[in-house]
Amino acid sequence: MKKVIAFLFAAIITISQTVIHAQNFEGHLTMKMEVLEVPAELESMKSMFESNISIDVKGERSRTEMTNPVTGNMIMMSDPSKNEFIMLLDMMGEKSAVTYKLDEYKAQKKSQDNVETQIKKTGQTKTIAGHKCEKVIATMKTSDGTLEMEVWCAQDIQNVNTEMDEYPGMPLEYNITTEGINMHFIVTEIQEKKVDESLFTIPTGYKKMTSQEFEKNFGGK
């Protein structure tokens, strides 16, 4: 179960970077996360992993929130102007706030992943949340083998997804598979509207936790 929770944390960190950082954009995105396949021993828990994910964007800043029975309430806040990435966890009756430096997080992630990715455009297109997207096939080579992944990219949206920055346009639909779990992510709605400033502050009642403590508790180390 610890590996499953670690996977969900990794997935939502990826999602938290899937935002529109155009200087004049302010609004709300809705993303759906559904489970397509799980190991037999987790089949009875399949529906517990599924969630609707809310993403609020105000200029460079973003706030991603997901709630499900496995992870509890998770919030990710990113502020490039402060070089800050904050993760808020509310699970098992405990509220924790983990703060990273964005550049340190990206450097650590890059050194850990050691992934070589090749992108092939297919020419196939469809509309997702009002944006024309092209399907690309990503072939990722790692020390554990080779993995192929279908990703639908909106070419009219600047790709600032730091987890998937090699893709030609903003990824709006894709699958993530690991530990026998195949999860499907798709942006279902993009709304331009005013976003309340209070959404980007840490609520009272959260206990500060170092990244090392977080990884020890939830990262399977």
Residue 209, pLDDT > 70, answer: yes
Question: Is 221 inside a domain boundary?
Answer: no
Question: Is 211 inside a domain boundary?
Answer: no
More confident position, 130 or 218: 130
- For the chain, the first-to-last Cα distance in angstroms comes to 13
Question: Is 214 inside a domain boundary?
Answer: no
Question: Is 6 inside a domain boundary?
Answer: yes
Q: What is the pLDDT of residues 128-148, one digit of tens each?
A: 999 899 999 888 776 666 777
Question: Is 218 inside a domain boundary?
Answer: no
Q: What pLDDT, on a 0 to 100 scale, did the predictor assign at position 199?
A: 93
Q: What pLDDT, on a 0 to 100 scale, did the predictor assign at position 38?
A: 84
Q: What is the pLDDT of residues 1-58, one digit of tens each?
A: 555 555 565 565 555 555 555 556 788 889 898 888 888 888 887 877 788 888 888 8
Q: What is the pLDDT of residues 48-106, one digit of tens each?
A: 778 888 888 887 788 888 887 766 788 988 888 888 888 898 877 789 998 888 777 66
Q: What pLDDT, on a 0 to 100 scale, did the predictor assign at position 114?
A: 57
Name, of 47-51, 163-167, 194-198, the range with top average pLDDT. 194-198
Confidence of residue 221 (pLDDT cuts 50, 70, 90): very low
Q: Which domain holds residue 100?
A: 2-203
What is this structure's pTM? 0.74
Question: Is 220 inside a domain boundary?
Answer: no
**Cα–Cα distance for residue pair 123/126, rounded to 1 Å:** 10
C-alpha dist (Å) from residue 169 to 6, 27, 165, 166: 27, 19, 9, 9
CATH classification at residue 161: 2.50.20.10
Q: In total, how many domains does the chain have?
A: 1
Question: Is 198 inside a domain boundary?
Answer: yes
Find, among 31, 3, 2, the residue nearest to 17 by Cα: 31
Q: What pLDDT, on a 0 to 100 scale, did the predictor assign at position 20?
A: 57
Question: Is 127 inside a domain boundary?
Answer: yes
Residue 196, pLDDT > 90, answer: yes
Query: Are the C-beta atoms of residues 153 and 134 closer than 8 Å to each other?
Result: yes
Residue 106's H or E segment, with its range, is helix 102-113
Query: Are the C-beta atoms of residues 56 and 199 closer than 8 Å to each other?
Result: yes
Joined together, the tokens standing for residue 87 give 């993760």
Q: Which of 53-57, 166-170, 188-192 has the lowest mean pLDDT?
A: 166-170
